[in-house]
Structure 1
Amino acid sequence: MDIISRAGWGARAPRSRSTVSWGTRTEFIVHYSEGPTTQTVRSIQDFHMGPDRGWADVGYNFLVDVKGRIYEGRGWLTVGAHAPDHNSIGIGVCMIGRDGDATPAALRSIRWLYDEAVRRKGGGLKKLGHRDVYSTSCPGDQLYKWVRAGMPAPGSEDDDMPLTKDDAKLIADAVWRRDEIPAPVADPKNPNWWGQSHLVDHGRRLREILARLDAQNAALGELSKTLAALAADRGQQVDADALIARIEAAIESITVRIDVPDQAS
C-alpha cells in the first residue's frame, strides 16, 4: 500500500522531534479520532499543535481514513504523543472517525501498517487498543473488539491476514509445549507432554530396546555355542554361524507390538 507523505497532505513542520530505534518498539496501539470521518489530517494536526494541546506535531505515527488511505504522521521511529508512557515503545495509528465508523478498507490498512511494522522490526509487536494502556474509551467498542480478535483483515478467505512468522512461532510453541497430554513417563515438575518430553521418552524407549536386542544377541551366541557343544558330545557337527543366522531370520519375521500404558486414567 502507499502512504501519503506529510507533504502530500500539507503538514506543518514539527516544532521538535525525538526518535527511537526499532529495538525500542514493542507495541502497536490503535486509536480513533472521535470526530467525523470528514476530518482532515491537517485539522487534527492543527488541534494537536494548538493551545488546547500544545504538542510539537500531530500526535499519531500514522492515520487512516474510512476509504483506507494511509497518512504519514510522525512516522515509524519518531516518538509520538498518543499514549502517556507508551509513546516511545508504541506506534500509534489513528482511524479518522467515531465508534462504528470503521470500514473494511480502514481495517485492512491498519492491519497492513501492523504487518509492515513487524517486517521492518523483524519481530512481533503487541496488538493493543488505546484503552489497554490508558483510562479511555478509545478506540471505541467496534475497533477495540477487532483489535482483541487479532486485527483480522476483511476480505481474505478466512477473514484474517496470513500468519506472520512471529504469530506462527507463538502458535507452534503453544501447541508443541502445552498440549496437556499426560506423559507416559513424566517428571513431577512436568506431568504433561512437552516437545522435550517426546524426545526424552522416545530416546529412553529406544535405549531400552537396543539394550534388550544386545542381550538377545548375546544369548543367541551362547545358545548356539551350547547347541554346538551338545552336538559335538554326540559326535555330530553343527554349523554355529548358520544356526545363528536361522534364529535371527526367524526373529526378524516376527512382528513385535509395543504397548504404551494408558496414563490418562
Structure 2
Amino acid sequence: MTLDIISRAEWGARAPRGRDTVSWSQRTGFMGHYSAASASQSVREIQNFHMDTRGWSDIGYNFLINSITGKVYEGRGWTTVGAHCAGYNTENIGVCIIGKDKAGVQDVSDAARRNFKLLYEEAERRKGGNLVLRGHRDRGSTTCPGDEIYSWLKAGLPIVGGTPTPPKPAPGKPAPGPAVAFPLPDGYYFGPASGGDRSVSGQHQRRFVGKTDRQWLQEFGRQLTRRGWSIGKGHTYLAGAGNDGIYGSEYTALIRAFQKDQSLGVDGRLGKKTWDAAYRNPVG
C-alpha cells in the first residue's frame, strides 16, 4: 500500500528558522512519541508551540500521525535533524502520534497503526537497512509514548487481522467502450500528493485535457463501477470518502486490487497501463 504524506505546504507550515541535515548512514532508529493531547490538535498548533514557547527552529518531529484519522503529516522530514529527544535526534527519526494514550483502551486507530508501520517500512527502504524501533522513554526520562503505544512498538508493530482483501467481480464481464485515452502527460500518474509534480493527487485540481485531475480520477472509478467493481460510500471500495477524486489510501487499495486482478505491476499508482486496462481488458 502506498503511503500518502501531507506535505508542509499542504498543512500550512511556517518556514523554519534554521535546519541541520543528517545522512542516512547516521540514522539508526525510528522513535515513537505521542502528543498527550487531543487528537483534534492541529499540526500547525504543535509547530507554533514548539517555535514560540519552546524556542525551537521548527516543529520538533520528523513526521506526525493523527491517532484517529491515521493521516500522516510531514514535519522536518526524512533527513533533517529533529528536536524530539535531546541528545538522540541525529540517529533517530521522530514520529509523533497526535492524541492521548489511555491505559487499557486502544486509543490509536487501526488506520494510524497501519500508516505508522508503512512510514517505518518506507524509512527502512530509504535507509537501505534496518532501523531499531524505539519509544521516547528508551532515550529520555519520560513516560512517552504511553504504555499502550510503547508495548506495540516493542512487539514489532503488529497489525491485528491485517487488511482484508475484498472480493473482486465475477469473471467474464467485458470492458465497456468506448475507450478513453489516458489524460496525463507521459511519465505522469495518479498518486500521492507527496510524490512530486508527476504524481497527480487531485488535491490541487490541476487541469488535463479539459478536466481537473479530480474529475479524471472519478472517471476511472466510474469505469470500474461499470465493469462490476463495488465502489462508493458504504461499498467494498472507496467506502469512506466515496469516489471523490482525491487520491489517498482508499484509491490506493482499489488500484492495487485492480492491478492484481489484471496481472499488472502492483504499486497502487494509476498510470497509463492500469488506465488502459480498465477500458480494454476483460475482467477475471
Inter-partner Cα distance in structure 2 for 1:84 and 1:155 = 36
> Per-residue displacement from partner, 1:9-63 (whole Å, max 9, x unpaired)?
000000000001100000000000011010000000000001x300000000000
User: 1:168-247 alignment to 2 at 5 Å?
Assistant: none
Q: Provide the residue aligned with 1:49 in structure 2.
A: 51
Q: Provide the residue aligned with 2:245 in structure 1.
A: none
Q: Secondary structure at the match of 1:23?
A: helix
Q: Provide the residue aligned with 1:203 in structure 2.
A: none
Which aligned runs of 4 or more in structure 1 are off by greater than 3 angstroms?
none
Q: Provide the residue aligned with 1:114 in structure 2.
A: 120
Is contact 1:64–1:110 with CA below 8 Å preserved after alignment? yes
**Unaligned stretches of 5+ residues in structure 2:** 165-284
Is contact 1:108–1:154 with CA below 8 Å preserved after alignment? no
CA RMSD of aligned residues (A): 1.3
Is contact 1:64–1:96 with CA below 8 Å preserved after alignment? yes
Q: Secondary structure at the match of 2:24?
A: coil
Q: Provide the residue aligned with 2:87 in structure 1.
A: 85
Shift of 1:156: 1.5
2:157 aligned with 1:143, yes or no?
no
Inter-partner Cα distance in structure 2 for 1:58 and 1:157 = 32
Relative contact order, higher structure (CA 8 A, sep 6+): 2
Amino acid at match of 1:91: I
Residues 35/25 of structure 1: CA separation in 2 closer, same or farther (3 Å cut): same
Amino acid at match of 1:70: V
Inter-partner Cα distance in structure 2 for 1:157 and 1:13 = 37
Amino acid at match of 2:113: L
Inter-partner Cα distance in structure 2 for 1:122 and 1:21 = 12
Q: TM-score, normalised by structure 2?
A: 0.54
| Greater Cα radius of gyration, structure 1 or 2 | 1
Inter-partner Cα distance in structure 2 for 1:134 and 1:84 = 8
Q: Secondary structure at the match of 2:152?
A: helix
Shift of 1:154: 3.7
Q: Secondary structure at the match of 1:29?
A: strand
- Of 38, 41, 51, 1:39 maps to 41
Is contact 1:27–1:89 with CA below 8 Å preserved after alignment? yes
Q: TM-score, normalised by structure 1?
A: 0.58
Inter-partner Cα distance in structure 2 for 1:27 and 1:36 = 27
- Percent identity over paired residues: 58
